[in-house]
Chain A
Amino acid sequence: MWALRGLRDGVVTTRWPAKADPYAAAVRGPATVVAPADADDRLDRLCPTGAISSADATVRLDQGKCVQCGRCVAARPDVFGWTDGPAAAALSRGGLVVPEFAETPDRLAALRYGLKTRTAALRRSVHLRHVDAGSDGTEEWEILALLNPVYDIHRLGMFFTASPRHADILLVTGAGSRGMTGPLRTTYEAMPHPKVVMAVGTDAVSGGIVSPSYATTGGIGGTVPVDVWLPGSPPSPFAIMAGLLLALDRLASGGDHQ
């Protein structure tokens, strides 16, 4: 009976990234700077997590701290706007700052090459392990969504595994609760080489609005070496998928990705 029921609605699975998906293009990412603006303290004060900074003459926004509250977009739509689409991840913490710093491209190419050589052997058999280091619970929902028939990451050759011994990519969520520092470290060390770590969500990247607190470390970067930084509060399933493909250097293959 369930077998027939499963056929009822035909194929509901997205073809992204091979084909464009309207929801992937529309899903909201972190805030961004849409027009260059001069340094201004009043802009800095708009942000509850200190993501906006006028330290050097131009206003910059650190998407790794953005909790997508939208205050800057509402107050100064001439300077700030939303990024649309799933391309939110970066290969360095500094790469999440917009407008980007001038020296980034070279370093980025080096990072990309390093990651590519590490992950090339994985091909289409990539095993994922998740560890919650103090999330608010939403990141787990968005990661689990990758298994539903709409996203179905099995089609991309990616699978979740129970044991860190079988895992290639570690997805870490949460602001880095001190109680999870040990278990996170142990999980990381139990993984075989080559291994890749992805910080999933603004909390994991920087601690978001949860840190600073006596019980968190302000993101997980100090506990395990992060390769892919994905902001979002929480990041959408498409953004997580895009982050995984970025780690594997499989994003250039097409789709509506910028």
Chain B
Amino acid sequence: MSSDVMMGARPSGDVTALWDDVVAAVAEGHRFAGLFGTARPEGLVLTAHLAGAEGVTVAETVLPVTATSYPALTRRLGAAFWYEREIADMFGVIPQGHPRPEPLLLPQPAEGALRPRPGEPGGPVAIEPDPRALPLHVVGPGLFTIPHGPVRSGVMESIEYLVETPGEDIPHLNMRVFYKHRGLEKRFEGMTAGDGLLLAERVEGTATVAHALAYCHALERIAAADVPWAAALVRVLHAELERLACHLDVAVRLADAAGLAVATARFGRHKETVLRLVSRACGSRFGRGVVVPGGVSRLPLVSPADLLSDIGRLEGAVTADATALMGTASFLDRLRRTGPLSPERAREHGALGPVGKASGYSDDARDVRPYDAYPTLVLQQPAPWPAGDALDRLRVRWDEVSQSFHLLRQVAGELAQAPAGPLRAGCDVADGRSVGWAEAPQGEVLYDLRLEGGRLTRCRPRSASFHNLVLMHELFAGDILTDFPFIEASLGLSVAGVTR
């Protein structure tokens, strides 16, 4: 990791000046990477994250304890749309001028409701969500709403899409994401760094390794710990295997949506092969327990030579089936020009991971803000795919798959020569605050955490799924109901990471 986090603390209460800074930084080429609140004794701290080549910058200000509202950033920077609704849910503070200030993660009556208030010790034991706090938005004659969820037809995570339609087109889509909100940010508080890691691995389980990495990077930054070379390689090994599994999962879902039974079975089998390789290497099918603060818990239980041959076999099989899939005209027809995201919108929003890359906008943390073994390994840069439709999102994933295989072969080769030695650097942290990041299969994951007296007093995970899912509102230009599963699958997001 290149440089330290810059702290741009603003004078107390001057929110407008903070927004001026954020908007100016974005105009200069930084990416708006998130916004959240923390209840502190001095008031509500508003923290914005800005990503650039030098790292992730923090800019913040304090709202007075008595403040019940503040001028919304969303009016000036659309990407803050969901972030400010979440702040209203968590603290009951109203973003004035927000175009749609209704609940997102925790529907509650506007006044007098209990709020979790992350950052503040204690807090409510239970908060019952009240769906009546969410208005229905059907407008215009002849429109009706198809509620799709939260219990859906397949084995899926719980989320509700309210599809507003005159029959076949989808002029408007509404998302209700609160169903599986677990209150994890409050749950982190009071935990030791070690217990917090177990919870971080479960924020978005399909990106276990990426979350563990971002969390540990934040700790290591506070402790100024240098991860040993062999450990850095093992981290990349598991991060890239996780990427393969997630991208193959998207291929399964897309093939299934198109009714390609054999393709669904083939990619399902390849995904199983990856999960079994992960479990042979570390005991867990999701790489749990591998990443620890300061390094990794152990070397893979599979020898580098076996890794190399397994990876080679898998690459051959996956590549052949991917080529066949991308040559199946009936499949491509379903993806082409489906769910397009324009390059302008991708850049404006700072769309993360494959969703951004397919619209010509790439800010891959492995490349721009590299960590662990990535600065040394060769990361092939594939040609951009700028159409921004579901097809290009899949093409980006195949590019990332071959990129991952290339990295995995390098890692296996390096591991064979890595000198024996400790796999963990000292990383005991009692006090401090920092930001860590990692590139998950869905895009960048950020952790902003603070420890006081050996306990977490604030831990804010920001998954790519949360940042990207809001774009789903805009992807239905001319698409019809039967395109829905393709668009949803092409985003490749996890609801657990959205709602936390």
Contacts and interface: CB of A to CB of B under 8 A. Distances in A.
Contacts of A225: none
A214 B155 CA distance: 26
B396 to A, nearest CB: 21
A150 interface: yes
Interface stretch (A95-103, A115-123, A141-149, A248-256): A141-149
A179 B198 contact: no
Given A213-B187, A215-B106, A215-B182, A140 B156 contact: yes
B158 to A, nearest CB: 4
A174 B182 CA distance: 9
Contact of A134 (B180, B186, B269, B286): B180
Interface in B282-327: 283-286, 288-289, 321, 324
B150 A48 contact: no
A28 B184 CA distance: 26
Interface in B143-165: 150-151, 153-158
B249 interface: yes
B99 interface: no
A143 B178 CA distance: 23
Contact of B186 (A208, A209, A213): A213
A216 B205 contact: no
Given A5-B321, A136-B203, A70 B289 contact: yes
A177 B198 contact: no
A211 B183 CA distance: 9
A20 to B, nearest CB: 17
Interface stretch (B2-10, B59-67, B259-267): B259-267
A48 B205 contact: no
A131 B154 CA distance: 9
Interface residues of B, number: 63
B397 interface: no
Interface string A130-160: 1111111111111111011110000000001
A143 B155 contact: yes
A132 B198 contact: no
Contact of B157 (A27, A82, A140, A236): A140
A53 interface: no
Nearest to A182: B131
Given A48-B195, A183-B179, A210-B187, 15 more contacts: A3-B262, A23-B276, A28-B284, A68-B288, A132-B156, A133-B180, A148-B269, A174-B182, A179-B178, A186-B151, A210-B184, A213-B187, A214-B125, A215-B116, A215-B127
30 contacts: A2-B262, A2-B324, A2-B328, A5-B266, A9-B269, A23-B276, A48-B195, A69-B288, A82-B283, A135-B205, A136-B203, A136-B204, A137-B205, A140-B157, A142-B285, A145-B275, A148-B265, A148-B271, A150-B269, A160-B154, A160-B155, A162-B153, A183-B151, A183-B158, A187-B151, A210-B187, A214-B183, A216-B183, A233-B288, A236-B285
